[in-house]
Amino acid sequence: MPLLDRVVRRIHDEHCRFRLSDDEVKDIEDMVLHLVKDLLPGRLLNDSGGRYSIAEVIEAGSYFEQTKIQLPNEFDFMLAVDQLSGEESIFLSEGCKPGYAHVRVTEPQIWDTTSCDDDPERRFEIALLQFNMYVRESLKLLLLEPLRGRFGQLEIKEIVVRGKPFKAFSHVQTLTLLYSELRCTDTVEPGTTLLYERLSTEQKTDIEVCVDLMSCCHLPLSAFKNILPEKCFENEALSVNGCHVVLKSCESNSCVEGQGKCRLISYTKTEQGCMKRLDVSWKVAYRMLKWLFQYTGVLEVDTYKIKTAVLHCSSARGQGEAVPVGEGLIAILRVLRKSAFSDNLPGYFNPSLNVWSVRPCYHYLVKYEMIFLLKLFTNIQKCRDEGQNVDVYLDVINAWIYSFCSHAVEISKMAKTSTSRLEQFNWQGNAFLDILKDAEPALKNNVIFSWIPFQLKCHVLCDVFKVLSLVFMDKIVSWLRLNIPLL
Ligand SMILES: [Zn+2]
């Protein structure tokens, strides 16, 4: 096995595997699935007096893709609302930016409203929010008693609406459950129910399990004609699954206030299928990167960006094909570095969508981070595997994480101060040089990394010239404008 593969697998096994036994993981999964898929639909139909029903519960998020790391404490679902799905109930039109659509109910008159002047777009929003309210109430009623599993139980802690900008109008609601282990008491006589007792406080290991529920409407792909680019219609899986529209709005000023905001189109169901089919080697590389980037999370390189890069890389090699895990890692990092340079990462299903949204205050830091990581791992890749101990390589990665984390507070402060381009660059360049300085002893310790600090400093210096020349050009142009009015 190549040296890089050994390094990646070692990090993966140490930091990414679940910290619970397989039995307990399965137990939590079974209980959550039972709650959301078996119990919730019936209860909701009943509680809403037949007004709302769930057409489909869609598994979403990393747990079901088998890419969740460390703890099975996050389960995401999308709930497709029956009454708000299909072309007979919903009408779509182009949104203000790619990947978004305006959504209207086709027959506003069937939705009795207290204010009859609600327009069809507003009516859609109200209906989804009302559906969400029923979901929350039904779950509270279903969880009056804890759910019992084979090894533990889940009890409700809270269910809240979360997100920006106004909590009450957010599109995601999170149910927080507490998982606690149960210990079987005594031997069980045939025919009697199993008796459990909760472990005493010292033994108790409560885990908070979050269940995110996002409601949406489902429409066949044909409803998105003129809204999604041609390329989407070539995707076979998308044609079969159709797309969903969620309440998340464009948050842009081009949609006029009061006329309704356009809503995000989701490809989650198809994306889940793609992720599940990936060879396990891609998943190992992805999980390892998720772990690594969680320490630099402030820089906004979130898991969705990494996932998009994974999907691009894996499809370039043929979906489902195996790849040496180190090679996969390098390919993903290359895509991320390219995005950091160009500030662009096309969505996998909708290439007209740019999923790379890193604010200018972090632009350079992210770029240097990507250059650094790619250098680190390609240098390991170049080494012959002679059975050497991989600890020395892990030390370098730990040193990088440590020095980044020790500057995390000052880095996060940067986003709050809006400054000029020059100041922003200055600040980021200096912050990166500080981080590099702290990690330098560990890098110089190993001959294969000893050039990295120098190479990175050259990158920073190069940008100094670029930024200064841009500032200089700006100054000349504004001077000319002042002195030669015709310009
Ligand atoms: Zn919009």
Tens digit of each residue's pLDDT (9 = 90 or more) over 138-177: 999 999 999 999 999 999 999 988 765 444 456 789 999 9
205 CA distance to ligand 1 centroid (A)? 45
Q: What is the mean pLDDT of residues 333-353?
A: 95
The stretch 335-351 carries a mean pLDDT of 95
Residue 335, token pair as written in the block: 């895509």
Q: Please state the separation of Cα 472 from the chain's center in Å.
A: 39
Ligand 1 centre to CA of 228 (Å) is: 15
Round to whole Å and give the CA distance between 64 and 306: 17
- The closest of 209, 73, 55, 48 to 143, measured between CA atoms, is 209
pLDDT of residue 58: 96
Give the closest residue to 250 by CA, choosing from 463, 27, 94. Answer: 94
pLDDT, position 196: 47
Q: Rounded to an integer, what distance in angstroms lies between the CA atom of residue 81 and that of residue 408?
A: 42
Residue 248's closest CA among 174, 171, 302, 304? 171
Q: Give the Å distance between the CA of 458 and the centre of ligand 1.
A: 42
- Work out whether strand 74-81 and strand 54-60 pair parallel, antiparallel, or are unpaired: antiparallel
Q: Give distance in angstroms: CA of 255 to centre of ligand 1.
A: 4
Q: DSSP letter at 13?
A: I
Query: pLDDT for 182-212, tens place per residue?
Result: 765 544 455 544 444 544 445 556 899 999 9
From the CA of 56, how far away is ligand 1's center (Å)? 27
Answer for the pair 149, 177: CB distance below 8 angstroms, yes or no.
Answer: no
Distance 248 CA to ligand 1 centre (A): 10
Query: Among 170-174, 197-201, 216-220, 472-476, which is the least confidently predicted range?
Result: 197-201
Q: What is the 265 CA–ligand 1 centroid distance (Å)? A: 12
Task: For residue 247, report the distance from its CA to the centre of ligand 1, in Å.
Answer: 12
Distance 245 CA to ligand 1 centre (A): 13
* Residue in this structure with the two tokens 């996932």, named with its chain if needed: 307
Model pLDDT, residue 187 = 47
Matching residue, tokens 């090679």? 327
CB burial of residue 392 (10 Å; 0-12, 13-18, 19+): middle
pLDDT by residue (tens digit) across 297-316? Answer: 888 899 999 999 999 999 99
Q: From the CA of 223, how far away is ligand 1's center (Å)?
A: 18
**485 CA to centre of ligand 1 in angstroms:** 38
Only one residue has tokens 């500057």, namely 407
Q: What is the pLDDT of residues 99-137, one digit of tens each?
A: 999 999 988 777 765 555 678 888 898 899 899 999 999
| Helices (H), ranges, 254-359 | 268-277, 280-294, 303-316, 325-342
How many A from CA of 259 to the centre of ligand 1? 10
Q: How far is the CA of 307 from the centre of ligand 1 (A)?
A: 25
Q: How far is the CA of 358 from the centre of ligand 1 (A)?
A: 20
Task: Kindly give the distance from the C-alpha atom of residue 86 to the centroid of ligand 1, in angstroms, as a whole number.
Answer: 22
Q: What is the pTM of this model?
A: 0.88
Closest C-alpha to 34, from 67, 4, 89, 77: 77
- Give residue-wise pLDDT tens across range 445-471: 889 999 999 999 999 999 999 989 988
Strand-pairing partners, residue 249, are 263
* pLDDT given for residue 388 in this prediction: 87
Q: What is the Å distance from ligand 1's center to 81 Cα?
A: 22
Which range has the worst mean pLDDT, 61-75, 125-139, 199-213, 218-232?
199-213
Q: How much is the average pLDDT of 274-281?
A: 93
Task: Report the distance separating Cα 248 and Cα 218, nearest Å.
Answer: 15
Cα 89 to ligand 1 centre (Å): 21
Q: 49: CA distance to ligand 1 center in Å?
A: 34
Tokens describing residue 62: 């990393």
Question: How far apart, in whole angstroms, are the C-alpha atoms of residue 54 and residue 276?
Answer: 24
How many other CB atoms sit within 10 Å of the CB of residue 207?
A: 18
Q: What pLDDT is recorded for position 170? A: 65
Cα gap 351→232, rounded to integer Å: 8
How many residues are there in the chain? 487
Helix (H) or strand (E) holding 249: strand 243-249
Cα–Cα dist 184/194, whole Å: 7
In CATH, the architecture of 18-267 is 2-Layer Sandwich (3.30)
Q: How far apart are CA 308 and CA 275, in angstroms?
A: 10
CA of 193 to the centre of ligand 1 (A): 56
Provide mean pLDDT across the span 40-68: 95
CA of 365 to the centre of ligand 1 (A): 30
User: From the CA of 308, how far away is ligand 1's center (Å)?
Assistant: 23
Phi first, then psi: give them for residue 244, nearest 5 degrees: -120, 155
At position 407, the amino acid (one-letter code) is H
Residue 434 CA, ligand 1 centroid: distance in Å: 41
Residue 362 CA to ligand 1 centre (angstroms): 25
Which pLDDT value is given to residue 194? 47
Using the mean position of ligand 1's atoms as its centre, give its distance from the Cα of residue 298 in Å. 27
Question: Taking residues 30-43, what's their average pLDDT?
Answer: 97
CA distance 105 to 91: 6
How far does residue 353's CA lie from ligand 1's centre (Å)?
14
The answer on pLDDT for 93 being more than 80 is: yes
- CA–CA separation, 356 and 61 (whole Å): 19
Q: Which residues surround ligand 1, an ion (CB under 5 A)?
A: 95-96, 250, 255, 262
Cα 262 to ligand 1 centroid, rounded to whole Å = 4
Compute the distance from residue 452 Cα to the ligand 1 centre, in Å: 44
**Rounded to the nearest whole angstrom, what is the distance from the C-alpha of residue 304 to the centroid of ligand 1?**
21
What gap in Å lies between CA 294 and CA 306, rounded to an integer?
11
User: Tell me, what's the pLDDT at 116?
Assistant: 58
Least confident piece of the model among 1-5, 82-86, 204-208, 351-355: 204-208
Domain ranges of the chain: 18-267, 272-477
Return the pLDDT at 483.
84
Residue 91 DSSP class:
E
Query: Mean pLDDT score of the chain, rounded to an integer?
Result: 89
Mutual angle of helices 3-11 and 325-342, in 10-degree steps: 80
